[in-house]
């Protein structure tokens, strides 16, 4: 257990003594309204720590146009590679007299997400101006939602790292416009002395999903982020490409420290900004939790109103870096936007949107486990990537066996996908070929080893599975005389295995069958070989 080291303070009358009123760290000093850890207290021991995490997740919606103008949206796949500052119009550039017009489709996509997260959809919501200055925010304010957001009071469940089901409560999901983007490198990677402003992202519809602090580990925070990403991708509201910033995570972290005397101490909340990978999310939370405990051991500062800070994540150094003290709501001077009317969501409109929601990842996992008897880990793998899941569904639609298709894709498919650095659905094999392969295996036309080899061959051709198996000599040999000859050879090579199998040791059959498969070049039917061994050695 960690022990807080004792302090040796200066003389009580010395101004540097922490208990001297003129010392800036003194609780009554005007520059320090918060009482810090008292170094004159006897050393104590940290008994346990508990990390507390709330998440803010920013989702760029893939509408064709931006939130308050008809300018093209960089988050839509058609405009991903647009040249810098080419998706700008008078509204985006905040030219005098340019007025915003709400994108109805962005509102509908946001309501879909809210309903999928079990949120209430209030009948009325409004637009507000969030005022702050930043170089990539031309208007000097962001159109957002403050006290009357679009979605409130929801929840989402997902499998936790400890095997249980974790529920995270959703405070709100509000819709706003994204800011632009600052770059600090010239073309070719050369350093730029200033900042380069690209307004292509400015005005993109941005849904911010805010959770309660219900997460207590970096691993669960990552799982929560993955589940949200999958929900949004299955709904079709975002491309969800992390490298392009389609989803950005901002965890709010502090630590509850329990000391040996039973007292609890809460460290100040830190918000880590703009994490765009699951690895960064995990590493940043783990680092920050450790850093906060060490900071508390040094200064004893605890959570209080006004002492929240924001930090950035330095990937290269693996540390968080202080950015600024966190603004409170009043710092942004929120006010209703005078150019935009409020939004009324009546029951008919909400029901119309609800009817378009497809089967979501959690429901798919439950169906796969119930109908095809897949393990939770297998169903999770199949639903972790939208395109892979849709490929699996296409295999089912083509008549493939659900359990067999899952095993084939998650073994032979995943192995080759890892080797090639791509997804399973990008290997080149079609759902129809997968179904044909499964049929050949079910009828014992090919063996298990040949099935994996055939899978790889089908990734390179459009030919039918049966044709490829025949031309490549993968069809199992069923000639009785030939099987007997191979078995004779194997028994001669493995006399001890033959004796053991005859004596009832089933495991010994593996050595004999392996010898048969070697002699046959993999063409022997393993099932038929075992049946013949039983007839010969145990009759």
pLDDT tens-digit profile, the chain (539 residues): 444 444 444 444 444 444 444 444 444 333 444 444 555 455 568 899 999 999 999 999 999 999 999 999 999 999 999 999 999 999 999 999 999 999 999 999 999 999 999 999 999 999 999 998 888 999 999 999 999 999 999 999 998 878 889 999 999 999 999 999 988 887 777 788 888 999 999 999 999 999 999 999 999 999 999 999 999 999 999 999 999 999 999 999 999 999 988 899 999 999 999 999 999 999 999 999 999 999 999 888 888 877 889 999 999 999 999 998 766 777 889 999 999 999 999 999 999 999 999 999 999 999 999 999 999 999 999 999 999 999 999 999 999 999 999 999 999 999 999 999 999 999 999 999 999 999 999 988 888 778 999 999 999 999 999 999 989 888 876 656 777 787 888 888 888 888 888 888 888 878 888 887 777 776 677 777 777 788 777 77
Give the orientation angle of helix 495-502 with respect to helix 480-493, to 10 degrees.
100
Give the orientation angle of helix 386-397 with respect to helix 218-235, to 10 degrees.
50
The Cα–Cα gap between 184 and 189 comes to 9
The Cα–Cα gap between 187 and 462 comes to 42
Strand 46-60 and strand 247-259: the pairing is antiparallel
For 284, how many CA atoms within 13 A lie in the half-sphere containing its CB?
Answer: 31
Strand partners, 60: 206
Q: Which two tokens stand for residue 400?
A: 């493939």
Tell me the CATH architecture of domain 480-537: Orthogonal Bundle (1.10)
Domain boundaries, the chain: 1-43, 52-336, 361-471, 480-537
What is the C-alpha end-to-end distance of the chain, expressed in Å?
A: 67
Q: What 3-state class would DSSP assign to 216? A: coil
Nearest-CA neighbor of 292 among 314, 265, 312?
265
Q: What is the pTM (predicted TM-score) of this model?
A: 0.81
Cα angle 70-74-78, degrees, rounded to a multiple of 5: 90
- How far is CA 48 from each of CA 19, 260, 265, 393, 416, rounded to the nearest angstrom? 29, 9, 11, 46, 44
The Cα–Cα gap between 181 and 12 comes to 53
The Cα–Cα gap between 138 and 315 comes to 29
- Say which residue the tokens 């069809």 belong to: 475
Nearest-CA neighbor of 433 among 464, 474, 469?
464
Tally of residues, the chain: 539
């Amino acid at each position: 257990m960690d022990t807080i080291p004792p302090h040796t303070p200066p003389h009580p009358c010395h101004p540097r003594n922490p208990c001297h009123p003129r010392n800036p760290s003194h609780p009554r000093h005007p520059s320090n309204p918060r009482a810090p850890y008292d170094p004159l207290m006897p050393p104590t021991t940290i008994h346990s720590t508990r990390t507390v995490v709330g998440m803010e997740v920013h989702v760029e919606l893939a509408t064709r146009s931006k939130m308050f103008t008809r300018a093209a949206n960089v988050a839509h796949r058609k405009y991903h590679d647009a040249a810098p500052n080419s998706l700008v119009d008078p509204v985006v550039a905040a030219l005098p007299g340019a007025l915003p017009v709400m994108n109805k489709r962005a509102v509908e996509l946001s309501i879909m997400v809210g309903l999928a997260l079990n949120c209430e959809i209030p009948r009325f919501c409004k637009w507000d101006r969030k005022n702050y200055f930043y170089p990539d925010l031309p208007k000097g304010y962001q159109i957002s939602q403050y006290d009357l957001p679009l979605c409130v009071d929801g929840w989402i469940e997902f499998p936790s790292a400890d095997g249980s089901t974790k529920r995270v409560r959703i405070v709100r999901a509000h819709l706003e416009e994204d800011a632009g983007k600052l770059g600090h490198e010239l073309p070719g990677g050369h350093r730029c002395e200033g900042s380069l402003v690209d307004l292509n992202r400015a005005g993109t519809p941005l849904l911010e999903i805010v959770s309660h602090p219900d997460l207590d580990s970096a691993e669960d925070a990552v799982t929560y982020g993955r589940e949200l990403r999958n929900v949004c991708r299955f709904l079709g509201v975002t491309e969800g490409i992390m490298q392009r910033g389609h989803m950005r995570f901002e965890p709010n972290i502090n630590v509850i420290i329990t000391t040996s005397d039973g007292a609890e101490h809460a460290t100040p909340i830190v918000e880590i900004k703009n994490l765009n990978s699951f690895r960064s999310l995990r590493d940043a939370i783990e680092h920050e939790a450790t850093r906060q405990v060490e900071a508390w051991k040094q200064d004893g500062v605890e959570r209080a109103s006004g002492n929240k800070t924001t930090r950035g994540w330095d990937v290269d150094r693996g540390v968080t870096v202080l950015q600024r003290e966190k603004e409170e709501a009043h710092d942004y001077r929120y006010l209703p936007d005078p150019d935009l009317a409020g939004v009324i969501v009546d029951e008919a409109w909400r029901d119309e949107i609800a009817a378009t929601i497809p089967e979501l990842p959690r429901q798919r996992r439950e169906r796969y486990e119930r109908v095809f008897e897949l393990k939770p880990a297998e169903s999770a793998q199949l639903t972790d990537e939208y395109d892979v899941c849709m490929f699996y569904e296409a295999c089912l639609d083509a008549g493939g066996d659900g359990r067999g298709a899952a095993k084939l894709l998650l073994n032979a498919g995943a192995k080759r996908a890892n080797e090639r650095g791509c997804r399973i659905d990008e290997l080149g094999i079609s759902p129809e070929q997968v179904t044909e392969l499964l049929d050949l295996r079910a009828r014992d036309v090919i063996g298990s080893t040949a099935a994996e080899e055939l899978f790889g061959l089908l990734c390179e051709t459009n030919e039918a599975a049966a044709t490829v198996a025949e031309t490549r000599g993968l069809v199992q040999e069923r000639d009785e005389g030939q099987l007997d000859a191979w078995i004779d050879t194997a028994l001669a090579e493995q006399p001890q295995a033959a004796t053991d199998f005859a004596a009832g040791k089933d495991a010994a059959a593996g050595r004999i069958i392996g010898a048969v498969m070697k002699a046959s070049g993999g063409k022997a039917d393993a099932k038929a070989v075992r049946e013949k061994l039983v007839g010969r050695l145990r009759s």
